[in-house]
Structure 1
Amino acid sequence: MSNRSEKRGSERGQALLDQTSVSIIISNYNYSRFLRRCVDSALAQDHPHTEVIVVDDASSDESPDVIRSYGSRIRPCLRAANGGHAAAFNTGFAASVGDIVFFLDADDYLYPNAVSEVVNAWEASTAQFQFRLHLVDEREKIMDIFPPPEQPFDTGDVTPKLFHRGRYQTTVTSGLAFARSALEAVMPMPEEKFRQGADGYLATVAPLHGQVQATDVCLGAYRMHGSNHSLFAEKLAERARWRVQHDFCRLEALSTQAAAAGSQLQPGIALHDPTHLEERLASLCIEQTRHPVRGDSRLRLATAGATASLAMNYSIRRRAVEALWFLAVGLLPRQAATSVLSWKLVASSRPAFLTALSKTIRRAMG
């Protein structure tokens, strides 16, 4: 092929990419102090044919005024009653038209090239695309990368991992994009069960309808602040119970979607998932009387966690450290085990020397 023909082919391919329509759906509830940064980042995308939809879930702060200030530059969806994360996602998706759909939490933001990077890498078989985010504080100072670079994304057909342990290596709402065709197969999502953690529902069931792609490039920022639902820094047991219950809701949704496709989940797959077992151990150790799973014991959960850790897609050193951590939590006296749990699950609870040590270990295991 001549250089001229190659150039024409490249131009046609770029023209097709440029015609790909994209929807960015921002879900907001009482985040007026962050909302403008988020909306501006969506409007600043360098990919043409990008619509920005802002769903306000009946905020009581100045969010509606912020949204109205953008006029016709965005598509506002102002809900009359608060319905939670899933309701906001359902509302935004119903209003969208894009071939590729991003969901963006209002306290996070995207970099200007985020959409174009995803569109240029997108393949016909893709159901979900995931990318890393810079972890930033309230003032947008970069603190880290999320997920950490030493945790490789899972890609391709992830259904074997979903059917084995109910989870694969993915990320949070603002680091995900979905094919419209995949979303049409799984939405609207159950609103009451996913008032929080709607991204967990989508990342669990969307891969049943195509491949998962990923890039290790940071295409946006995940903001950490005192109001994040997922933190519960001072309420570790409450957070653990919520995450355990959320996992059971995810697995129920996965089972329903799998059954519709003629597949069946094996019972007890959560016991193959180290992330689930961490939270289940935390719930049992810290507030046993309110633990949601009867019959659990620390030793049983720790043994399952150590076994599951050794099968993860990490370096051999990281797998060994994770397995030893589980065994320590299972065998130490309850008070000591609770401290070890909190040091891992809530970084702010770690003594300074342990924080420095963990960074050293993390670099060694990378």
Structure 2
Amino acid sequence: MYSIQDHVPVSIVIANYNYARFLRRSIDSALGQTYDDAEVIVVDDASTDGTADVIASYGSRIKPCLREVNGGHAAAFNTGFASSSGEIVLFLDADDYLYPNAVSDVVDAWEENTAQVQFRLHIVDEQMHVKDVFPPAELPFDSGDVTSKLLRKGRYQTTVTSGLAFKRSVLNSVMPVPEQNFRQGADGYLATVAPLHGEVTSIEECLGAYRIHGANHSVFAEKLGQRARWRIEHDFRRLEALSDQATEVGLEVPDDAGLHDPVHIEERLASLCIDRERHPVASDSRLSLAAAGAVASLEMNASRRRRAMLAAWFLSVGILPHQMAKAVLSWKLVASSRPQFLLRLSKAIRHAVG
């Protein structure tokens, strides 16, 4: 672990695009850290709202990076990292915020072989009311050497941008983030390739807030097919990047890695059921995906009850008539579509396994 005496310099890179209404809370949270050696870098990706005024109001307390042309998530990460100097780097989305102890807790948890620290976040609404925890507490983080999981299925249990911190030397090995492939979801790239260069250290406490609102890229429940297709393509780009990085360190990712990942299979099923004509994998069938999903579910790091229920869900989507399968699918992916009895059952299960 790093000690207080080490005075490890930390950089917090805030990536912003048209989030002026949220940005001040994010910057204040970064400036308000109890850790006294954290620089705050704010990257504005050519916003067209009032962001410039918000940034200007902080003067020399922050380091602004104002991009003239919008480049997306990866470009903002690359710009901010190039301007940073910390040995530990946190990337914070501008609609999210950190709790005052976040950086101190990350530094305290850091081990000699740590490449990445991950921590849970409270899910909050636009008014910052806490709604839930992400990832859910009943899903254990994967920690330590996660290489075997990455090579087998291209994923391990991690979190989103604002719950991640990276070792600078590791980022030097994997950055810049490919900007065309990761205009959105640059955190997915970093969290996928960074663990090839060290271990993952997990903190179970919530050290910040992940704000869910109507403008999030991840929130377009009324367009499930579109969301599923984007996530499938994003997974394919992640797997390609993982394969490239793995090759550099003498490892190999199997061609069928995605078919061992329940999260990826779920998106493939959603895309296929909702809009077969636009589904990006022509060879997929509901039954084959459902079978793969059931097997992958039983191999998850989760409670036996959760694994069994997810496996049953996959099989039901695979074998039910198409309209019924779509209904069962939407019940899982869109909470607002669930009948009341399912909402009560879901809460009871989470309470039982939490």
Superposition pairs of residues 265-304 of structure 1, within 5 angstroms: 265-304=253-292
Partner of 1:201: 189
- What SS does structure 2 have at the residue aligned with 1:83? coil
Q: What is the rounded CA distance, in whole Å, between the counterparts of 2:89 and 2:285 in structure 1?
A: 42
Describe how 1:124-273 pairs up with structure 2 within 5 A. Answer: 124-273=112-261
Aligned counterpart in structure 2 of residue 322 of structure 1, from 293, 307, 310 = 310
- Runs of 4 or more, structure 1, over 6 Å off, are none
On the 8 A contact 2:3/2:108 being kept in 1, the answer is: no
In 1, Cα distance between equivalents of 2:328 and 2:57: 48
Q: 1: distance between equivalents of 2:289 and 2:321?
A: 15
Could you say which residue in structure 1 is the equivalent of 2:5? Answer: 15
Q: Matched residues in 1 for 2:136 and 2:219: separation?
A: 17
Output the CA distance in 2 between the equivalents of 1:39 and 1:354: 39
**Which residue identity lines up with residue 24 of structure 2 in the other structure?**
R
Give per-residue Cα distances to partners, 1:322-347, cap 9 Å, x unaligned: 10000000011111111111111122
Deviation at residue 13 of structure 1 after TM alignment: 4.0
State the SS of the aligned residue for 1:234.
Answer: helix
Larger radius of gyration: 1
Instruction: Please state how far the C-alpha of 1:267 moved relative to its aligned partner.
Output: 1.3
Structure 1: any 5+ residue segments left out of the alignment?
A: 1-11
Say if 2:303 is the partner of 1:351: no
Alignment partners' CA distance in 2, 1:105 and 1:351: 33
Matched, 1:40 2:31: no
Paired positions, count: 354
Please report how far the alpha carbon of residue 231 of structure 1 lies from its aligned counterpart in structure 2 after TM superposition.
1.3
Matches of 2:20 and 2:274 in 1, distance apart?
A: 35
Distance 1:254 1:14 in 2: 35
TM-score (norm 1): 0.95
Whole-Å separation in 2 of the counterparts to 1:269 and 1:92: 32
Are the counterparts in 1 of residues 298 and 307 from structure 2 also a CA contact under 8 Å? yes
d(CA) in 2 for partners of 1:100 and 1:221? 20
Alpha-carbon offset, residue 228 of structure 1 = 0.7
Offset of residue 14 of structure 1:
2.3
- Percent identity, aligned pairs only? 69
TM-score, normalisation: structure 2: 0.98
Partner SS for 1:201:
helix
Q: Counterpart in 1 of 2:47?
A: 59
Deviation at 1:124, TM superposition (A): 1.3
Separation of aligned partners in 1, 2:209 and 2:289: 34
